[in-house]
Structure 1
Amino acid sequence: MNQKLTKSLDNAALAVGFVLFFGIMVSGDLRHSLGVAVGYLIGWMPSILPFHLVLFVLAAITGLYASLIQKYTMDWDFLRAQQEKMRRLQRDMREAQLSGDQARQQQLQTEQMKMVSEQGKMMQMQFKPMLYIGLISIPLFMWAYLYIEQNPGMTMTFPFWGTHPINATVIGPFLFWYYWYFVCSLPVSQIIRKALDIGSMS
């Protein structure tokens, strides 16, 4: 009974994550509604913190949540084993090509074909956490997007770049606040992963 309930909750969470992940790409109403809903929970933060620190807090929350999801939903031993197997296969293939060993090359090509199905399992294993992570990160991101849209005059001062409106573009569609958010999230995520001893692929 508990396993069935857990599986049902798991499927429901994945379904919601799927809707959020793809829904925000096509529905402006969904993006707006998410931003408004999250505003009831964290809309007070800009009144006590500069907005660049608010973005830092959001990045930290996302980093912690994402790290925990990856820690408990991904089979790191399997992923490391697959990566090592692929490296060994590539190394053996180079050696066989250099030595002109046709029989060995055919054998290795057969092994490569067998790994295709395992690659599919790896992709599925990595895609599932993305949907879980989206349950938290997407609503937070939509709130930040809505808040900035409603307060277009905000600026930030960047090293070497000077002061810019945070909703101005750095390059292409990449906005300054996107840049700051991801600059914050990368080191925070690394610190959290180190603290929680979350495995890496290397």
Structure 2
Amino acid sequence: MNRTAEKVADLVRENPEFEAVLSELLDREDELRWRDVKDDMTSGQWGRLLQKDILVEGEDGFQFADREAVEEALGRTDEMEFETDVDVDDSESSWSTYDKAAAVGALGMFAGYSVGSVRSAVGNVLDLFLGPLDSALPFFAVIMVLAVVTGLYSSILQNALMDTEKMGAYQEKMKEIQERQKAAKERGDDEAVERIREEQMDAMGDQLGMFKEQLRPMVWIMVITIPVFLWMYWKIRPPAHINPAEASMVMPMVGEVELAAGVVGPLQAWILWYILNSIGFSQIIRKALNIQTSPT
């Protein structure tokens, strides 16, 4: 693609309406004058074509600097793949063996919520490490500390394992396809609409890549968070393994409540307390460390 074709492609990517405008101008055999084309385009679009030297002065008006290059660019525009500085090849989003092992481990540990032997095994092992913390603080404060710790490593893992630039490229690609499809429909180009629709179907595979990018850090977060949750569940669930004096707390807007009591439907007080602290401290941590977890 020569320089003129590149300029045309850039304009169409910038504003898909230029595709219909240029197609209309190509249908005109004579040199172009503003008074003849002003009903088909805006003055801003006309100015952009002159500014980009896609249209140049002729004998009696303006003409294409390189008509064949413009035709080539428009032909390629309908079929071109979205190009970004980021490679959105789904193969690069495939999980490693360690990622898959972590996913299996996380699913296995979910059994601890319903299988008492698994819950007891995990609880007793983690109690070797978390027991001193429980001895030093009341249990509601232990929950706060664990919420901060899990929020910290969750933010770090998301920042390290989630490619937000690639996710942004996935979203930009779908947006660009939708814009070209809309422009093709407006000018009544059924063939282009069909080609773009096929491209859109092919691009749906990229949605799987985006989902995998989002899920990968979640797997590693669960590998660490599930055992911590199982330990708290093991400590609170009858027969409780905490000091009876620590089995209740005073919650904001709720008052004194048993940790194992339901406060929002079946949601127990200790879980709600953990969630509130986790959400709040996670936002503070991400802001303080400038961690980006959404597509850029």
Q: Do Structure 1 and Structure 2 share a fold, with TM-score over 0.5? A: yes
Q: 2: CA distance between counterparts of 1:100 and 1:23? A: 57
In structure 2, relative to structure 1, the CA distance for the partners of 1:8 and 1:161 (3 Å cut) is closer
In structure 2, relative to structure 1, the CA distance for the partners of 1:87 and 1:8 (3 Å cut) is closer
In structure 2, relative to structure 1, the CA distance for the partners of 1:39 and 1:25 (3 Å cut) is closer
2:262–2:268 Cα contact (<8 Å) kept: yes
Percent of aligned pairs with the same residue? 35
1:75 corresponds in structure 2 to 163
Q: 2: CA distance between counterparts of 1:25 and 1:157? A: 26
2:144 to 33, 44, 56: 56
Deviations 1:77-119 (A, max 9, x none): 011222334455566767878x595736545533431232111
User: Which structure 2 residue ranges, 5 or more long, are not aligned?
Assistant: 1-95
2:105 corresponds in structure 1 to 16
1:76–1:200 Cα contact (<8 Å) kept: yes
2:249–2:257 Cα contact (<8 Å) kept: yes
Equivalent residues, number: 194
TM-score under structure 1 length normalisation: 0.80
1:83–1:201 Cα contact (<8 Å) kept: no
Larger Rg: 2
Kindly indicate whether residue 293 of structure 2 is the aligned counterpart of residue 189 of structure 1. no
Deviations 1:34-90 (A, max 9, x none): 111100101122222122211111011111111111111111101122233445556
In structure 2, relative to structure 1, the CA distance for the partners of 1:200 and 1:101 (3 Å cut) is farther
In structure 2, relative to structure 1, the CA distance for the partners of 1:82 and 1:68 (3 Å cut) is same
In structure 2, relative to structure 1, the CA distance for the partners of 1:169 and 1:109 (3 Å cut) is farther
Higher helix share: 1
1:152–1:167 Cα contact (<8 Å) kept: no
In structure 2, relative to structure 1, the CA distance for the partners of 1:28 and 1:100 (3 Å cut) is farther
Deviations 1:104-136 (A, max 9, x none): 654553343123211111222222212211222
Q: 1: CA distance between counterparts of 2:106 and 2:165? A: 26
Q: 1: CA distance between counterparts of 2:172 and 2:269? A: 38
Q: Which has the higher contact order (CA 8 A, sep 6+)?
A: 1
Runs of 4+ in 1 over 6 A off after TM superposition: 91-97
User: Which structure 1 residue ranges, 5 or more long, are not aligned?
Assistant: 1-6
Q: CA RMSD in A?
A: 2.8
In structure 2, relative to structure 1, the CA distance for the partners of 1:187 and 1:130 (3 Å cut) is same
1:70–1:129 Cα contact (<8 Å) kept: yes
